[in-house]
Chains A and B, each alone.
Chain A
Amino acid sequence: QSVLTQPPSVSGAPGQRVTISCTGSSSNIGAGYDVHWYQQLPGTAPKLLIYGSSHRPSGVPDRFSGSRSGTSASLAITGLQAEDEADYYCQSYDSSLSGYWVFGGGTKLTVL
């Protein structure tokens, strides 16, 4: 079981908006630690998509946005495109005895 909980899968049609949730606890997201999101296209390495909960690295389209509230965070993708089909992972830092850097279990986005 991952420390951060994500839905296993989400789907949407081209042009639609989808959101992916990431639920943590008082020892990670709820403690104020930043949430980061990674995109992993099929057969490739993960790529940083959102850092500091809501910031996009250079080159990431503004169709991708992130937010955080309480013990949860969300990734939103608007204007869905076929090339967005990938696995998405949230990541944060955990101050409990269970570990330090933690990932969500990942969410498979299917573009219908």
Chain B
Amino acid sequence: VQVVESGGDLVQPGGSLRLSCAASGFIFMNYAMTWVRQAPGKGLEWVSTISGSGLSTYYADSVKGRFTISRDNSKNTLYLQMNSLGAEDTALYYCAKGTIVTTGPFDCWGQGTLVTVSS
């Protein structure tokens, strides 16, 4: 079971970026997937979750209206489209696999991809 993030970069304030997370070793469509971020020197912050089918999506208030989570079950890939980025979005973004139960834990994490918002 493995998830690998990519797409992090240095972006100017107000810019956009799309993160990807490639999953392997499990039946991707059966599990909800989540993005969690960690600002430099700070704790973990839940960002967004998508159901296995992709029909249900959930967002933290801090990113609602700016970020869009999506998935392509044919490609075993999770995405996070980030628009109107600000300095407060600078963080290491982790992709995490959920379990069958909605309130279950995140049982597999990637190594993260770094997003830096700066001019």
Contacts and interface: CB of A to CB of B under 8 A. Distances in A.
A-B complex is real? yes
B53 interface: no
Interface in A73-112: 87, 89, 91-93, 98-106
Nearest to A45: B109
Nearest to B108: A48
Interface residues on A, range: 20 to 34
B107 A51 contact: yes
Interface string B106-119: 11111110000000
Nearest to B62: A99
Give chain B's interface secondary structure class. Answer: loop
A57 interface: yes
Contacts of A87: 43
Lowest 7 CB-CB distances: which A-B pairs, in order? A36-B105, A106-B43, A93-B103, A51-B105, A101-B46, A45-B109, A103-B44
Interface of B: 34, 36, 43-46, 49, 58, 60-61, 94, 102-112
Interface of A: 2, 33-34, 36, 38, 40, 44-48, 51-52, 57, 87, 89, 91-93, 98-106
